[in-house]
Structure 1
Amino acid sequence: MKCFLKSVILIITFLTSLTFVSCGIKKEQKVEENNVPNYSEVTVLENANGNFNAFKIDDKALANVGSTTGNIIDMAYDVKNSVYVHSISMPNGENSNKNIIDINSLGKKFQLKDFYSALDLKLNSNGNKLAFRTFKSNSLSSAEGMKVYDIKNNKYLKLKSKVLVSGKLYEWIDENKILYYGSMEGKKNSQKIYIYDFSKDKEDVYLDGINGNCVYFSPMKNGTLILSSRGDNEQLYYYDIRTKTAKSIAVNLTEIYKTITNYKNEEVFILGTEGGQTNALYVFSYKDLTLKRLTYDFPKNLDMSAGVAIDNNDNVYFCGMESLEQNSKKDVYMYNEKENSVNLISTEQGNYSVYSSVK
């Protein structure tokens, strides 16, 4: 009888442990070929009352490539390595932000759901590592910080770090290295940009002595574009990793919302704003350390939350609208760098967002 009871207890314990594991990572499933997203290097998603349509760019116009399942609130993908990551909303009562992460990689599909919500999905350059930040509950005070997931081996990567990463201030610079801004709890003067190398499982300081607080940064080929804030003053500057020097940019932005880097031309395209002016598309050039505004009245307003994307021909895509109050009636625009022109490429207004595959 005692042996029987022990066996029952062991079985219950084993089944319970399996239940806890499955709550965090859903078992891999084979993906039907027709369920693999038909995304291209630039993808436009349209939220049509909860139904999502996907478009590619074809001859300066939107071409429908099908629909997607789930209420998508964010995504990141790598076309060349067939990795597609979506953040899917899971309504859980009024004003709920609950969501899961759905990963489709090389014909296999699995989910991450060991959190209440996850934001700011960022893939590394070969699509096998995903960085994001999570929350324990429907409250900003429940922030858990940055997490990194190894998609290839289906497991979380634990960083040997005591840094509390500040919001969404983390960016991959190659397949193994990620930059992040933050501080160590209880340690003075620890607010810095750090670099973590997963190939060495080691953290180092990337940039010390930031003038104020870092509010945004965007890595480039040989350095990083940084927006810092001290009191009511913002400063935009470029940090050159080779010379370990910082160079101030003449025109200052007061806020940066989204960026996309053109590593080939050593440029950063920015959705941002200068004090007292409307939101606009800008370009920062490393060659002459200048910041140039690209949009003014066409379109009148830019949607800062709809993203910015770039294709292999250096065309940049973003969303705009006539009125900020009508953000569900947007158009998709393309900035043609060769012609220095802004072009309307959508034929109908919609609730669009733009994305591009990692390079």
Structure 2
Amino acid sequence: MKISRSRRIRAIGILFCSLFLMSCSKPTDDVEIVEGIKLNKGAIIENDGGNYSNYNYIKGKYEKVNNNEVIGLYEHNSDNYIAQKDGKYIVFYSGKIIELSNIEIGDDGLKMSPSGEYLSLYRNVDGVTTYKIIKLSNGEYVDFNTDTGISGHYLDWIDSNTLVYYGVNNEGVNGIFTYNLENGEEKLLYKLDGGIVQYLSTDSEGIVILQETINDEKVLQVINSKTSEVKTISKDITRLYDIVNVDGVYYALGEFNDGILSIYKLQDGKHYRLLFDFPSSIKATRYGLSVDEEGNILFIGSNSDPELEEVYSISKDGTIRKVSESKNEYTFVK
């Protein structure tokens, strides 16, 4: 399948950068307690000619959220989220709306911890990338004292206060490291014997990495964050955009040895292609997949003009159907 290409993709990218380019000011003690917006898994942001709206995914259908917030990050365990409202950037944290005001323009890669307590981001200044951690309850930066050179955007959260990332430390060790915010301790979780990591994310099983070995082979692996045990998922994958775990089974948006972009089910060391002629194209991005409350796979694609995107669902029995009502530009709420 070909990749959907939108002439407006740069515009929506700018919006997301703007949406998440924020920093925090310390809230006062008399902040009003309010009820926040509730979003289900699979919620989206729609770009309709430059007008951005959230749509919630309810019982297999999208319903517009009638509010003046545009939510980009949502943590489902705590219902905390980050959004844009009235031209300002806010965090909804435990019933409080806290205005965010100081994150610098150009900050990117924002991710919330599993508990919604922290926000991680990276900042590029004159070609040098640094990583920042914000505690959302008070809007203050948290110490992240590592001398490891973190590679690219390969940083995620293992749990509510532990980061995982790929890089090279001061001793020249090339590997996957963890960092605990409570005690400031960094540990080597997995050492690479040569090669590089080209993808990193986390899920309930552990840390998913796509490793390119010194022999130019690509191996998709899962590392247990507690035992460091490594499990190989696939040795046939050549490119990975996104991957999700549903009940212990992985679904990947990417390409395998045949070079065909699709969504694949990975099981018992084999890969099974799920998309063929419908839809005719698929949007391949880092967050190109989502999973709804029932465990169905959601993705963005087009069945006619690649400029006009729609949201599709793959049910557990493999049935594919369109679930969005209109054709616009879409991005999943992270």
Please say if residues 51 and 69 of structure 1, whose CA atoms lie closer than 8 Å, have aligned partners that are also in contact.
no
TM superposition shift of 1:244: 4.4
Deviations 1:234-284 (A, max 9, x none): 22233355664544444422222223334xx12333222225533222233
The structure that has the greater radius of gyration is: 1
Relative to structure 2, which stretch is displaced further, 211-220 or 61-70? 61-70
Match of 1:145 in 2: 130
Match of 2:13 in 1: none
In structure 2, the residue corresponding to 1:173 is in which secondary structure? strand
C-alpha separation in 2, matches of 1:143 and 1:112: 23
1:349 aligns with 2:327: yes
Deviations 1:109-134 (A, max 9, x none): 22153422122221111111111212
In structure 2, the residue corresponding to 1:304 is in which secondary structure? coil
Percentage of matched positions with identical amino acids: 20
Match of 2:309 in 1: 330
1:120 aligns with 2:103: no
Match of 1:82 in 2: 79
Match of 1:313 in 2: 294
Please say if residues 272 and 279 of structure 1, whose CA atoms lie closer than 8 Å, have aligned partners that are also in contact.
yes
Please say if residues 234 and 253 of structure 1, whose CA atoms lie closer than 8 Å, have aligned partners that are also in contact.
yes
Stretches of structure 1 lacking an aligned partner (at least 5 in a row): 1-22, 91-99
1:43 aligns with 2:25: no
Please say if residues 115 and 135 of structure 1, whose CA atoms lie closer than 8 Å, have aligned partners that are also in contact.
no
Match of 1:158 in 2: 143
Match of 1:237 in 2: 221
Match of 2:248 in 1: 266
Please say if residues 55 and 64 of structure 2, whose CA atoms lie closer than 8 Å, have aligned partners that are also in contact.
yes
C-alpha separation in 2, matches of 1:166 and 1:349: 37
C-alpha separation in 1, matches of 2:78 and 2:233: 37
C-alpha separation in 2, matches of 1:113 and 1:293: 45
In structure 1, the residue corresponding to 2:66 is in which secondary structure? strand
Would you tell me which structure has more helix in proportion to its own residues? Answer: 1
Relative to structure 2, which stretch is displaced further, 37-46 or 49-58? 37-46
TM superposition shift of 1:327: 4.7
1:169 aligns with 2:158: no
Q: How does 1:131-142 map to 2 (within 5 A)?
A: 131-136=120-125, 141-142=126-127
1:197 aligns with 2:177: no
Residue from 272, 284, 291 that aligns with 2:266? 284
Match of 1:4 in 2: none
Match of 1:103 in 2: 91
TM superposition shift of 1:314: 0.7
Deviations 1:189-247 (A, max 9, x none): 32211011223321100111254101112334444332112475422233355664544
Q: Compared with structure 1, are the counterparts of its residues 37 and 76 closer, same or farther at alpha carbon in structure 2 (3 Å cutoff)?
A: same
Deviations 1:294-344 (A, max 9, x none): 222222221123632112311121101246xx554101011112x222221
Q: Across the two proteins, how many residue pairs are aligned to each other?
A: 307
Q: Compared with structure 1, are the counterparts of its residues 198 and 53 closer, same or farther at alpha carbon in structure 2 (3 Å cutoff)?
A: same
Match of 1:19 in 2: none
Structure-1-length-normalised TM-score: 0.74
Match of 1:301 in 2: 281
Please say if residues 52 and 69 of structure 1, whose CA atoms lie closer than 8 Å, have aligned partners that are also in contact.
no
